[in-house]
Structures are given as C-alpha cells and as structure tokens.
Structure 1
Amino acid sequence: MHAVSASNATCRCFPGDPCWPTLSQWNAFNDTLCGKLAATTPIAAVCHDDRFASYSAQTCDELRNVWFFPETHLASSSSAMAALFTNNSCNPFLPPNVSCTLGNYVTYAVKATDASDFQKTIDFTRQHNIRLVIRNTGHDYNGKSTGAGAVAIWTMHMKSIELKTDYNSSYYSGRAIKVGAGVSVSEAYEFADMHNGLVVGGNCQTVGLAGGLTQGGGHSPLASKFGLASDQVLEWEVVTGTGQLLTATPNRNSDLYWALCGGGGGTYGAVVSMTAKLHPAMIVSASNLTFAYEVDGSNADQFYDVIQTLIESLPDLVDVGATVYWTIVGNTFSVFPATAPGLSKAELDVLFKPTLSKLEEVGIPYRYYSQEFSTFLQSYQAMNIPSNVSDSLLAGRMLPRSLIENDIGDLISAIRSIAEAGVVFVGVSLNVANVVSSPSAVAANPYWRQTLVVAVFGTFFNYTDRDANYRNQDFLTDDILPELERLTPNGAAYLNEANFQQPDFQSVLYGRNYNRLDAIKGKYDPDDIFYALTAVGSDRWIQKKDGRLCMT
C-alpha cells in the first residue's frame, strides 16, 4: 500500500504553503548537514532583472556562448540540461525584462558526500512532506533530476573509485570496480584504463555511471561485447525510502538488486555506490563514416539504398561484438562511431565493405576512416563526438532483429519518412541477447534481448518559442512515433531515451517487469518518497501546471 507521508495530504508541500518549513527549520536542517544545503540560484539569473542577481549584458553573453557545454551546468546544484523541463524558468535567451523564477528547478539541493547525508535528507523531506529528487550531473533527457518545490540529493561530488582485485562470490569471481554515485563515465573509463581493464559505460562523457545510465539499462560502445551497463552490476549500496542503508546483491536483498539493474533510477532508493565487473583490456578498432545526398534530392533514392545496405549488415557487425552509433540529419548520414573491441582494423573494414561498395556503385562520395587502438580509452577519446546538453525533444523505439530480417523495406520507408519530416534519427545498433542467463536476469526491459537498433528521434529545442516545443513534442508523439509503432506491435522503448509523453509507458518502457517492479518499490519505498517522470509508480502522481506534485 502506497501512501503520502506526513499528514496524508494529497499533494507534496509547496513553497508558500503553511506546511513549508520556516527559515529556522531550514537552517537547523543545514546544521545537521554541516552546511551542505544550497538554496537554488538559477545560473542564468544574470540575464534578467530579478531578485537573484544583477543583470549583466556581458556576463549573460558569455553564459550564452557556453550554454550548450555540459561543464556550464555541472558546477550547479540545480541547472537542468534538458531545457523543456525547466518550465522556461530563467531562460538566458529571453529578454532581460522577462522574470527569472525558480519554476521547475529544485528549491534546495544537498551536496551529499556520504550515506548519512542521504538519510538526513530523506528523513527531513518525509517529515515535511516535501518532494525529493535524485540529481547527479543533471544530464538526463526526461527531467527526472529536477522538480518544482523539491529538495535534491546532489550526488555529483561522490567521486570515490576503488579497484577490487579479487572480487569473489557465488555469482562472479574476478576483478571489479566500485564507484561512488558521482563518478562519470569518462572518469570510470580512465580509471579502468589505468588498471589495464574495461568498464561498461555510456557514450556520453559526463553521464554518471551508477545513476540513471546503469539503473535504466544503459547501452554502451562496449554493449555488444559485454552487455548492458545493468548486466555488469555485482552490488549496490543504497538508501531506501525508509532511510535504511542496504547492500543489494544477487544473494542479499536480491529483489532490490534486481530492480536497480535496469528498472529505472530515482525510484526504489538513492544509490550511494555501485560495484561492477572490470573486464580485461584488449585492442579496439573503430570507424566513422559520412555521406550525403544532393540538396535537390536527385539521388535521395540511392542514399536510402545505401542506408538499407548498412542496416542489413548490422547483424554481422553486432554479432562479432561491434556497437554502431549512427544518425540521419537532413540529407546526411553518419556513423559516429562503430566500436569493435577485440577486432582488428582489417576485420572491421571487411564488415563495412558492403556499404562502401554500395556507395561506390551508386556514385555517392563518402568519408570513411578506421583505426586500430591498443586500448578502449584511446578509441573512445579519438573517435567519439563530445556530447553537449540535451537541447532536444525526444521519442524512441527499440527495433527488433526480426524487423530488419523480414521487413527491411518497410523500415527504410519509415526512416525516410521521419528524416524527411525534419526529424533527427539516431540509431544505436547492438546485440545483448546472449550475455545474461535469461531476459529476466535483471530488470532491464526484456525487449533489449531481441533488439538490434535502439532508435531515438527528435527535434531541437526552441529557446525563444515555448509553445513550439510543446507542439513539436506532440508531433513526435502523435505523428512520428506511430510510424515505428506500426512496425513493432507490442514493442518497447529505452526508458532513458524515451518520450516523456509515451502512451502506455508502463508496458513500453518496462515490459512484463512492471508489476513486479511496482511491488518492490512498495516494499522499499512504501511512502512513495521517490518520484521521477515515467518511473515505476509515477502514474500515482500528477504534476500540476505550477509543478506541484499531487496524487492522482
């Protein structure tokens, strides 16, 4: 049975309500945290005439110039990298006379450094019936790490990394890596490389390894070789909704362990640390490919013939351990990159030969570059494009191998229709079918095990026309997404890169695991302390127009 804490109010306490803590109560709470409580000041306050900071045209211009770099936001305890979920609050690209408000930003954040900070924050928010969110870097697509009137547990400064040279259990023996909740993907990759190893993480450098990436499943440049990020986890340290600090493994609190391995972040508890497999280092080959059709569209048919050839070759690529990231933007197709651990450059080139031959046959110029690296880190740093903030509106769909094998023509038609509608199309091609004992070994959607392409598509965020963004999100939901839903009945989407308006999100994002996950949430978070958009249990809540969180 789920219930709202404190006075059984139907809404979380909101700034300005009689239940909102007094300044003396906030100060007392801060004292228990040794000064780690930070009140939110939007970083774009300097772009507006407001109560937070004085307007400065020069400082605002400087901020705009670096706004799309993650580093601009990482130092902030509140700034959201998915602009749609700021509720247009303190937008640096609007005129200075537009008011700067907290809007959908958290009201306070706790700069957590250990589990006791988690426990104190959970206890305080429970006592006062305040919304709680988990925030690491703020780098997420669906606004899970922010919320109006909320207190955030800010984990980004929990940077401990530990090598376990002889991890030994009934379910795994070998080397492992233990990371604090704030360790980023790039930091984990560098540490693993220093110790002659590989750790499975994401494609984006600034995403937290133990956060929403792994807890949501987590595709990776290494996924076809070793599996999803959630397939690597050996144990979790987690503070539950009741404030208990637990260790969750396949043998201890196994239901919680299972749920955290792909069942969604910020939902069952707040993760303090994660221990995962450290794989042996090996050579890695990688390649990039770019080609385009003429602006007048005269050779667009040939362009999509080439894309069909490449997609038809994906099973051969992923089955030998390569993971291929690719995109269609306007009239241009790019592989960025294909990563093949354990393969030589010559072997990778052979796998791309059908596509290159097709390009030469139809007369489309192209740029293809491949290289063999002695370590994965060298490959990652040389071949991966740095990722900026999530300045886009997204939807997604997983495409099963059977679709490519049986209905490739219909798929190409759908992809072409989407791209020609001005929508960016991104594909992540992988094979994670054979790395776990069964599709239900972890809570990641079982549909991952039949997926060949994780498709993500979207439009860019418009910073000066708020209504256009909502129209575009509706366009993705109502017009574009059905193109792929028709080809994949009873299908799925990757919950970390999905449409926050996804119809039937329970089945689409979690598959047959949803009811079991909801029962586990009820056990470890009986008061629904943890809420995140499209997370398990979020259907019991609704965000009002002002961002207030209330029971449905």
Structure 2
Amino acid sequence: MSTRSVLAGSAILVAIAAILARDRVFFPAYPECRTIPGDAAWPDISAWTKLNDTVGGKLIATVPIAAPCHKILNGAPNSLYDEEQCAVLRDHWHFPETHLSSPSSPMSYLFSNNTCNPWSDPDTPCTTGTDAVYVINATEVSDIQEGVRFATENNIRLVVRNTGHDYLGKSTGAHSLSIWTHKLKSIELLGQYSSSEYTGPAIKMGAGVESLEAYKFAASHDLVVAGGNCPTVAMAGGFIQGGGHGPLASKYGLAADTVLEMEVVTPTGQYVTASARENADLFWALRGGGGGGTFGIVTSATVKAFPDTYGSTASMMVANTGDNADALYSAIGGFIQKALPGLVDAGAFVVWIAAPFGFMVSPAVAPGLTSAELDKLMQPMVDILKEAGLEYQYSSAQHKNFLASFEFYSQGTSWNVSDYNVGGRLIARALALERTDELVEAVRHISTTAFMSGVSYNVAHGVASPGDVAAHPYFRKTLFGLALGTPVNYTDWSATLAGQERITHDLIPALERLTPGGGAAYLNEANFEQGDFQRTLYGDHYGRLLEIKRKYDPESIMYARTAVGSEEWKERGDGGLCRTQ
C-alpha cells in the first residue's frame, strides 16, 4: 500500500472520528455484564483523573454520607470518623436537605447504603456499597455528554440522580458512575410561547428546579405551574417522566400533560430537543413513560404556565379510639362515595390518610374556590360523621393565591421519604363507587397496621386522549391513588426487609384482588418488586415505549428498576449488572 493510500485512509478515519465526536454517537461492543471495580477492565486512576479534567474538576469520588459514624471506611482506618458529626447527622437524617445536598444519598432508606448505616455500631465497617463510585456534578450539557461517553466506552453502569426523591431505587446503583443534575437550576419565563399545539405563557426550567422553586418563580409573574405536592421534588427529573400528580392536577392534569418541550442528552450522547415537532416519539415517551434514567438525561423542560388565582385549603381529623372502628371505616366509605367525586370534579386535589391512628384529610387544596365553596364540598363527610356520632376536627382557610395556599399547608411538614417502604395502586372511579364495601375492606386490612394515603384527583381531561402522552391510560379513569407504607427500622435491617415483603405479598395483593387481570400503579409511587410491571406501570403503552427505548438507546446504556427495558438486565448479589438475554 502506498504512503498516499495510508494517509488517505487516515484522513477518512479522522473525518469519521470528527463526525462522531460532533454528534456524540458511540458504538460500544458490550460483554454480558457491566464492569465493576476489581475487574481488569475497570478504569485506572489515570482514566478517572482525565475524566475529571475533561469535566472541569466536577468529578466526585463518593464518600458515603454516614462515613463519620464509622471507624473503618472501605477497609482502611477512617479519618472522617467523628462522633459529634455523626450525632448531628442522626438528628437531621429525616430532613430532605440532608440528602438533597449529598451527591449520592437516596432518601428512600431501602436503597441507601446500609453498610454505612448512621445507627449501626461505629466498629461496623463502612463501604461504598450501593452508592455510585463516582459522581459528575453536572452544571453543563457537556458534563453529561462526557459522563455518557465515559460510561459507554468503559462499560460502566450509568445512574441519573437529581434530588434523590425516589421510592424505586432508580437514582442509585452499585459500581456506577452517576450524573447528578441537581445543580441545573436555570429558570426563565417565556411570555408568549407559540406552537401549533399551544400559545400562551410558559416557563423553561433546568432539571434541578424543585417544585417550590418553580411555584415561587411562577407566582412572581402571577402564574402557576403543575408541580409536585412535595416542595423538594425536582419537576423535570423523574417527576414529570413518571407522570407527575400534584395540587393542581384536577385543574390542569398531570405535570406530563403540561410539557411543551424538553432538552435531553440521549444515551448515544446527542443533545436534542424533544417536542411535538422534533423527536416527537421521544417527547411522547418522556411524558410519563418510564421515569428518570430511561430514555435519556433531561436537562430542561418547558411547561405551560396558567393564570394564578385565589384558592382554599381544608383539613379534617377523626381519631380511631379503638371502639369506633366500624363506624370510622363506614364513614371512610361514605367519604369515597359522597364527597370525593364532587371535590375532584370541582378542581380540588385531596390527600386523605387512613392509618392505625384514624382518618385525616391533609390537605384538600381547591384552586379557584373560596373556603365557603370548599366547605360545601366537604359537607357530605361532615354530615356522615355527625350522623355516626364520630368526633372530628375540621378547619378551612382561604388564600390570596396558589403559593400562599401551598405554603400554608406544607409549612412545618417533613417531606423525607426515608421512614417508609412504599407501594401503591391506582383506584378507578367506577371501582371506588360500585364496589365501595370491598374497597373499604381492603383499606381497613391495610391501614390497621400500616400507613395509607389516598391521593385524589381528576385528570380525565388533562389531555384530549389517554394516548397523547405515555403516562398509563388508567390515570384518566382514576379517582385516587393509594400509596401505602411500612416503617423503616434503622437498627434492624431484617425488619425493614420484612416490611417490604409484607407490602409485596400481603398489602398490595389486597388491592390487586379488586382488579384481577387489570389495574395499574403510579410509576413514581409503585412497589419496586411489582410483578408484571410492564402492564401495571405502563399498560398498553409498553410495546411502543420499548420500541422507542431501543431506537434511542440501542445499547441499553440507561437502566433503572422497573423502567422500560429493565427486564433485559438483572442485578447480581454483589451489585453487578448483567444482561438476561
């Protein structure tokens, strides 16, 4: 071969490399399992140092959040051991801010690093365990692209973490590289967004913008957006990608229904806009079709903004005294039949709780209604309680705007999810109204020993057709979602696991028996051990979602528990991730 031919060939290779670098497309050849520390193929320290340089020093070597509570860290004496600091950590463990500021600590304790438990004996060795090995603190799109490239080229498990609000263990993973999007906090008003689908005000927010931050920004412009009921849930992350219900759901639909476009780094490293006009299939899938870490890494979402208005809130409490249980659960049935439909149809969002202590409405949120109008909607339940001779407490208040109502009922509330293992089920209106006695029997079975929350809304008209977004079609006929929990025991891991098994094999089946061969669960509040998750979490949309997954993620870079395509992978006992087919 002539020198000229060699040079020509080299030029072609350089040109191809330039194109691939420009479009960030990677073509790996994967073995059966992801590489983990100790494997010969695991990158050496120089490779990680180079990655750190590439992302401008934003690579973080994970130190478990509870490391100060242990004398041994990863097999060596721990210089971070500090009894006073450990005591402070325990005191603040249940507050979201403790975990929000951590690049690796999930709020759901079942997926936390139990080898590094802040309540275990100080002599218990602490290891990285289920935490990511390294985290990229992403503040630029290029940081995410470099993380995707590195994970792809080195066959390393890739995890996406935002705030850590996550019941299903999607935002953490052993032996992984994590992309932390929490610092993507940009937010701007688009005064007159215009497309063939919508014309009006919109707000574009970075992936790290939390619900309360979005509410405050919108309020400053006399607007509202459909966000979460928990103030520290980041909207553009797993919340919207799982569907997203919240206090404005009965008025404007799921958060996924209000999205106009999203910016996303795909698993091949491309940075694209997904909307009804560009990458429409990806746009459809990102709105409720898999949750965070499924189809790509969302960097921003542009959502509809609506005119702000006054509103009202209400709360109610009925104690279970031990001798009034029959009357109490009968009253709950009356509440479901005679009060809830009218409340949600009037635009209210109602959270009610059944637990060993009794029954609560906490809160009912009614945008655009006066307190007198809300009182009238709550009156059927008041009448039921009076007729049954049940003592109760009830109060309502009116607020000048949505933000004022949200801050009123959320003040002083701990929103951390660490204290409970969680599972859930959506309850259709027809089921609730036609088979009330059977439903109440199941509610009683669960709530006499566990915590149960009924999150009630009407999102039937959030979209023109249930197929317009990827969220489970069952949402459109749902009256409420039941989220249930068993308590975490921080000093007895086996008891915590037993509580989760009780959810899987006793509590959730009590609800599943009401919908044999059907029914659904909310992706963001489901049981991570949910059997037949494809049907239960995605319904008839699953086949199309899997096609889109394979199109945008042909090498299955993105894996998360119960996410689309996750059945193609299995987590080993040592945390390794391997293909099943």
Say which of 299, 307, 320 aligns to 1:272.
299
Supply the distance in 1 between the matched residues of 2:474 and 2:374 (Cα, whole angstroms).
27
Listed as ranges, the matches of 1:68-467 within 5 Å are: 68-264=94-290, 265-294=292-321, 297-312=322-337, 313-384=339-410, 385-420=413-448, 422-467=449-494
Superposed CA deviations along residues 393-422 of structure 1, whole A, max 9, x for unmatched, are 1111100000122111111111011112x1
1:239–1:271 CA contact under 8 A, matched in 2: yes
* Aligned counterpart for 1:48 among listed residues 70, 74, 92: 70
- Measured after TM superposition, the shift of residue 488 of structure 1 is 1.8
Which residue pairs with 1:15 in the alignment? 37
Note the C-alpha offset of 1:5. Answer: 6.8
* AA in 2 matched with 1:361: E
Mapped partners of 2:79, 2:157: distance in 1: 26
Cα offsets for 1:112-149 (capped at 9, x unmatched): 01211111110010000000011001111111100001
* Corresponding letter in the other structure for 2:55: L
User: For residue 70 of structure 2, what is the amino acid of its counterpart?
Assistant: H
Rounded to whole Å, the distance in 2 between the matches of 1:329 and 1:206 is 25
State the distance in 2 between where 1:176 and 1:391 align. 36
1:31 corresponds to = 53
Q: Secondary structure at the match of 1:174?
A: strand
1:157-214, CA deviations, whole angstroms, 9 ceiling, x for partnerless residues?
Answer: 1100010001000000000000001101110011011110000001111111101101
Are the counterparts in 2 of residues 411 and 487 from structure 1 also a CA contact under 8 Å?
A: yes
* CA deviation string 1:479-506 (max 9, x = no partner): 1111111112301000110000001000
* 8 A contact 1:216–1:496 mirrored in 2: yes
Aligned residue runs from structure 1 range 451-530, under 5 A: 451-489=478-516, 490-530=518-558
Structure 1: runs of 5+ lacking an equivalent: none
Q: Distance in 2 between matches of 1:528 and 1:475?
A: 32
| SS of match in other structure, 1:435 | coil
Q: 1:205, 1:386 within 8 Å by CA — same for their partners in 2?
A: no
Sequence identity of aligned pairs in percent?
A: 51
- Provide the C-alpha distance between the structure 1 equivalents of 2:244 and 2:39, rounded to a whole number of angstroms: 39
User: Which residue in 1 is equivalent to 2:571?
Assistant: 543
Could you say what secondary structure the match of 1:455 adopts? Answer: strand
Report the 3-state secondary structure (helix = DSSP H, G, I; strand = E; otherwise coil) of the residue aligned with 1:440. helix
Distance in 2, matches of 1:431 and 1:290, equals 23
Deviations 1:362-383 (A, max 9, x none): 2222211111111110000011
CA distance in 1, matches of 2:121, 2:499: 23
TM superposition shift of 1:329:
2.0
Q: CA deviation at 1:300?
A: 0.7
Aligned counterparts of 2:526 and 2:263: Cα–Cα separation in 1: 27
Q: What per-residue deviation string (whole Å, max 9, x for no partner) do you get for residues 500-544 of structure 1? A: 000100000000011110110111111111111110011000111
How far off is 1:252 after superposition?
Answer: 1.1
Q: Determine if contact 1:204/1:386 at 8 Å carries over to the other structure.
A: no
Matches of 1:321 and 1:272 in 2, distance apart? Answer: 31
Report deviation, 1:83.
Answer: 1.1
C-alpha distance in structure 1 between counterparts of 2:541 and 2:384, whole Å: 42
Deviation (angstroms), 1:291 = 1.1
Q: State the AA in 2 paired with 1:135.
A: R
Which one-letter code corresponds to 2:327 in the other structure?
A: Q
Q: Distance in 1 between matches of 2:158 and 2:499?
A: 29
Q: Are the equivalent residues in 2 in contact too, given 1:68–1:388 (CA < 8 A)?
A: yes
Q: Is the 8 A contact 1:325 1:336 kept in 2?
A: yes
Q: 1:45–1:53: 8 Å Cα contact kept in structure 2?
A: no
SS of residue in 2 equivalent to 1:231: helix
1:289–1:369 Cα contact (<8 Å) kept: yes
Report SS of the residue matched to 1:224.
helix
Contact 1:322/1:338, CA 8 A, preserved across alignment: yes
Whole-angstrom CA distance in 2 between matches of 1:93 and 1:386: 20
How many Å apart are 1:464 and its aligned residue? 1.3
Q: How many aligned positions are there?
A: 546
The 3-state SS of whatever aligns with 2:397 is strand
- Matched residues in 1 for 2:373 and 2:295: separation? 44
Q: Secondary structure at the match of 2:403?
A: helix
Q: Secondary structure, in 3 states, of the residue corresponding to 1:89?
A: helix
User: Which runs of no fewer than 5 residues in structure 2 stay unpaired?
Assistant: 1-25
Contact 1:200 1:232 in 2 (8 A): yes
SS of the residue corresponding to residue 115 of structure 2 reads coil
Aligned to 1:467, what secondary structure does the other structure show?
helix
SS of equivalent residue, structure 1 residue 77 = coil
Question: What is the one-letter code of the residue matched to 1:305?
Answer: S
Give distance in 2, aligned partners of 1:47 and 1:435.
48
Amino acid at match of 2:245: H
1:233-285 CA-to-partner distances (Å, cap 9, x unmatched) read 00000010111111010111100000000012210000010000000001111
Distance in 2 between the 1:449 and 1:510 partners?
A: 13
Counterpart CA distance in 1 for 2:125 and 2:336 is 49
The structure number with the bigger radius of gyration is 2
Q: Distance in 2 between matches of 1:240 and 1:39?
A: 24
CA apart distance, 1:87: 4.7
CA contact (8 A) 1:5 1:129 kept: no
Residue 7 of structure 1, CA deviation:
4.3
TM-score normalized with structure 2 length:
0.93
Q: Distance in 1 between matches of 2:66 and 2:477?
A: 44
Give the distance between the partners of 1:362 and 1:316, measured in 2 at CA: 21
The Cα of 1:390 is off from its aligned counterpart by: 2.9
Residue number in structure 1 paired with 2:16: none
- Deviations 1:26-79 (Å, cap 9, x if unpaired)? 000100001000000011111011235432222111110000101111111111
Q: 1:74 to 1:87 in 2, by over 3 A?
A: closer
Q: Cα RMSD over matched residues? A: 1.2
* Separation in 2, partners of 1:76, 1:414: 39
